[in-house]
């Protein structure tokens, strides 16, 4: 049972179900009843109500939007099929009303004339826009090559129809111009002027569209020729003749598009300044967490070190004043090995082991060799190591080079 | 310099990898941006400082580079020879690869089973075991080059960039050997 529906009811109904209607409009005829009912915003009663008001149709568990709603949306959004019937209707009604007005000068007919003129204006522009959109869409998105060709051909004919209708409208308006001149009505004048302007503009636009359709159709036919050529090239390739019977090599070498080159995605370094920012810090934290670098982060950083904690170390290295030691040796008359071995180092340094003294001896001979006199003689020394083994040590006897000092 | 579009980094990222920007693909928005008013001229000038030239094809854009090492030439020839094979395969089907054509991998595989000629072609093109995988592999190759775009798991759509291949192919002239004439 269908209850009478007011405009307000209809608009409300559409508004309440806006999401479902959007989906139904997008997927024409392919939505199952269960799919719609599974939505949170839809219930059995709501669906029944929509069916009752004939906003949607249910057929074999498939749900679709009522044609009137679909047409309404398409009309309004200027999508959908191009039709010339609207323009034809308006032209007919314009003709009728002009005839009536000749017979009876009645403002009612004048009102109708104005309405028809306005409508011709708007419908023509709308259909031309739709035509352009559809042609473009067909060329780019129609997925079957043969259908695409035929559809473009259809639009070509439609375009011819529209242009004929525009010429017809122009003819009617210019025939009636004498009549319009006798009617003193500012609005009528502006409507007529506007219409004439729009018709001319649309005619230009349609010429452009014509060029485009032809271009598209040519492109497709050109493509068909290319397929034949590809197959021929493939044949040559299979016979290994591609390089000899065609200029394949030259042409391909001549292509400059980047697509054939190895892809080197640009790799940039991290900005250090960025890492210092708060945002950079959170990102490094996140990555550290991922890499488990923060396992030990419960260990807080150690407190500040006590001032002068490393004074001891400083002292020792400072006390081993090798340059001073060498100066002293140069004053003496002994040989370097015995000198280093028996030298009484200051107390701060502590006692130096034999090994340390030997390395000191070696170090001095290397660093100060220009001030030393290496005689070439060898000295020998007996000593006992930590394991109580008796060992003999040979060393070069090195004397200060008295000449080099001065 | 203020007129450089906001999306220039995105555009550069795609083009510099050797990809195309086609008007009927998912990057259609970027196409519209380049195509808008005199953005093309502005961007061409802007990118010229990077050593790449922004080029316009029929409803697609790409980068070109003038000087290239010899090493690439060999790779190019090899690559293009492969495209001839692939395009030969697609143009042997009922549904030709024109802009906007949609191919379903399973459907092509079906066609290959029933058409011996196609079957031989696809066997020469891919070593994958299953027919579906074979088709998927070559469709994937064309997708990587920007001539196709994957719409869902099974569906591939032909991009405007296919014109690029066609342009190159139409440039090739075949020596008249008396057997068959060049269909041009």
A60 lies in the same domain as A110: no
Model pLDDT, residue A404? 55
Q: What is the pLDDT of residues A267-283, one digit of tens each?
A: 667 777 877 888 888 88
Model pLDDT, residue A406? 42
* pLDDT for residue B2 is more than 70: no
A218 lies in the same domain as A348: no
Model pLDDT, residue B183? 46
Percent of chain A whose predicted confidence (pLDDT) is above 90: 0
How many domains are there within chain B? Answer: 2
Q: Which of B16, B99, B184 sits opposite A266 (nearest CB)?
A: B16
**Domain membership flag for residue B21:** yes
**What CATH number is given to the structural domain containing B138?**
1.10.10
Q: Which of B62, B101, B160 sits opposite A258 (nearest CB)?
A: B62
* pLDDT for residue A348 is more than 60: yes
A257 and B19 in contact by Cβ < 8 A? no
Out of A121-125, A232-236, B65-69, pick the least confident. Answer: B65-69
Cβ–Cβ contact A231 with B under 8 A: yes
Burial pattern A345-366, b for ≥16 Cβ within 10 A else e, equals: beeeeeebeeeebbebbeebbe
B58 lies in the same domain as B74: no
**Cα nearest neighbour of B66 on chain A:** A256
Q: Domain boundary residue among A60, A76, A92? A: A76
**Domain membership flag for residue B75:** yes
CA distance A153 to chain B (A): 16
Model pLDDT, residue A312? 59
Cβ–Cβ contact A238 with B under 8 A: no
Cβ–Cβ contact A220 with B under 8 A: yes
A26 lies in the same domain as A140: no
Domain span at B39:
8-64
Model pLDDT, residue A319? 55
A68 lies in the same domain as A140: no
CB-based burial label for A39 (10 Å; 0-12, 13-18, 19+): exposed
Cβ–Cβ contact A390 with B under 8 A: no
* pLDDT for residue B59 is more than 70: yes
Model pLDDT, residue A336? 81
Q: How far apart are CA B11 and CA A196, in angstroms?
A: 43
Q: Average per-residue pLDDT in chain A?
A: 80
Q: A-chain residues within 8 Å CB-CB of B118?
A: none
* pLDDT for residue A314 is more than 60: no
**Domain membership flag for residue B3:** no
Q: What is the pLDDT of residues A38-86, one digit of tens each?
A: 777 777 888 888 888 888 887 777 888 888 888 888 777 767 777 788 8
pLDDT bin (cut points 50, 70, 90) of residue A2 is: low
pTM of the model: 0.56
**Cα nearest neighbour of B54 on chain A:** A257
Model pLDDT, residue B184? 42
- A-B Cβ pairs (cutoff 8 Å, strict): 150
Average pLDDT over residues A184-197: 87
Q: Which of B59, B174, B184 sits opposite A225 (nearest CB)?
A: B184
A145 and B55 in contact by Cβ < 8 A? no
Long-range pairs for A157-160: beta carbons < 8 A, 24 or more residues apart: A158/A82, A158/A84, A158/A131, A159/A131, A159/A206, A159/A209, A159/A210, A159/A213
Q: Domain boundary residue among A230, A252, A269? A: A230
Q: What is the pLDDT of residues A161-179, one digit of tens each?
A: 998 999 998 998 888 888 8
Model pLDDT, residue A147? 85
A119 lies in the same domain as A16: no
Model pLDDT, residue A308? 67
B80 lies in the same domain as B166: yes
Percent of chain B whose predicted confidence (pLDDT) is above 70: 91
Model pLDDT, residue B9? 87
Domain span at A67:
7-76
Q: Which of A230, A257, A258 sits opposite B87 (nearest CB)?
A: A230
Kindly list the strands in the beta sheet with A56-59, ordered across the sheet, starting from the edge strand earlier in the chain: A31-32, A62-65, A56-59
A69 lies in the same domain as A137: no
CA distance B3 to chain A (A): 25
CA distance A266 to chain B (A): 9
Q: What is the pLDDT of residues A368-397, one digit of tens each?
A: 877 787 777 787 877 777 777 777 878 888
B57 lies in the same domain as B104: no
Q: Which of A142, A219, A226 sits opposite B169 (nearest CB)?
A: A226
**What CATH number is given to the structural domain containing A48?**
1.10.10
* pLDDT for residue B132 is more than 80: yes
Average pLDDT over residues B2-9: 81
**Cα nearest neighbour of A224 on chain B:** B96
A194 lies in the same domain as A92: yes
């Amino acid at each position: 049972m269908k209850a009478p529906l007011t405009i307000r009811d209809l608009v409300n109904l559409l508004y309440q179900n806006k999401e479902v209607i959007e989906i139904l409009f997008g997927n024409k005829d392919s939505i199952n009843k269960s799919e719609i009912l599974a939505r949170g915003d839809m219930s059995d009663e709501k669906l029944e109500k929509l069916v009752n008001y004939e906003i949607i149709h249910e057929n074999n568990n498939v749900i679709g939007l009522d044609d009137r709603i679909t047409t309404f949306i398409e009309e309004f959004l200027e999508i959908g099929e191009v039709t010339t019937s609207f323009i034809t209707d308006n032209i007919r009604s314009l003709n009728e009303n002009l005839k009536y007005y000749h017979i009876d000068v009645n403002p009612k007919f004048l009102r109708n004339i104005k309405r028809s003129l306005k409508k011709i204006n708007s419908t023509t522009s709308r259909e031309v826009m739709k035509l352009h959109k559809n042609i473009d869409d067909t060329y780019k998105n129609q997925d079957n090559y043969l259908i695409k060709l035929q559809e473009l051909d259809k639009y070509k004919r439609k375009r011819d129809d529209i242009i004929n209708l525009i010429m017809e409208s122009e003819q009617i308006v210019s025939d009636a111009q004498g009549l319009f001149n006798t009617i003193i009505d500012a609005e009528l004048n502006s409507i007529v002027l506007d219409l004439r302007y729009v018709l001319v503009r649309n005619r230009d636009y349609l010429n452009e569209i014509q060029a485009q359709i032809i271009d598209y159709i040519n492109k497709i036919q050109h493509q068909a020729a290319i397929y034949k050529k590809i197959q021929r090239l493939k044949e040559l390739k299979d016979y290994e003749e591609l390089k000899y019977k065609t200029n394949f090599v030259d042409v391909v070498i001549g292509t400059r598009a980047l697509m054939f080159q190895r892809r080197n995605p640009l790799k940039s370094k991290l900005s250090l300044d960025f890492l210092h920012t708060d945002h950079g810090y959170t990102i490094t934290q996140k990555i550290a967490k991922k890499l488990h670098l923060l396992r030990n982060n419960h260990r807080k950083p150690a407190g500040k070190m006590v001032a002068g904690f490393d004074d001891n170390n400083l002292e020792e290295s400072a006390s081993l004043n090798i340059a001073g030691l060498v100066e002293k040796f140069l004053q003496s008359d002994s040989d370097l090995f015995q000198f280093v071995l028996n030298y009484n180092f200051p107390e701060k340094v502590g006692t130096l082991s034999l090994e340390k003294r030997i390395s000191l001896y070696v170090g001095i001979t290397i660093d100060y060799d220009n001030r030393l006199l290496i005689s070439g003689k060898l000295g020998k020394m007996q000593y006992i190591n930590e394991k109580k083994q008796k060992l003999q040590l040979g060393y070069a006897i090195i004397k200060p080079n008295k000449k080099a000092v001065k | 310099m203020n007129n450089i579009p906001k999306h220039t980094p995105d555009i550069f990222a795609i083009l510099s990898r050797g990809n195309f920007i086609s008007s009927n693909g998912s990057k259609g928005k970027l196409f519209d941006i380049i195509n808008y008013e005199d953005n093309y001229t502005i961007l061409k000038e802007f990118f010229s400082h990077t050593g790449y030239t922004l080029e316009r094809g029929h409803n697609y854009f790409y980068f070109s580079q003038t000087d290239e090492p010899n090493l690439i030439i060999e790779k190019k020839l090899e690559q293009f020879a492969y495209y001839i094979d692939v395009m030969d395969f697609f143009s042997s089907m009922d549904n030709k690869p024109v802009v906007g054509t949609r191919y379903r991998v399973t459907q092509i595989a079906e066609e290959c089973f029933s058409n011996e000629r196609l079957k031989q072609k696809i066997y020469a093109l891919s070593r994958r075991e299953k027919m579906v995988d074979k088709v998927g592999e070559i469709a994937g190759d064309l997708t990587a080059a920007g001539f196709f775009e994957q719409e869902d798991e099974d569906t591939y759509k032909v991009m405007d960039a296919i014109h690029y291949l066609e342009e190159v192919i139409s440039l090739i002239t075949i020596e008249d050997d008396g057997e068959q004439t060049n269909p041009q």
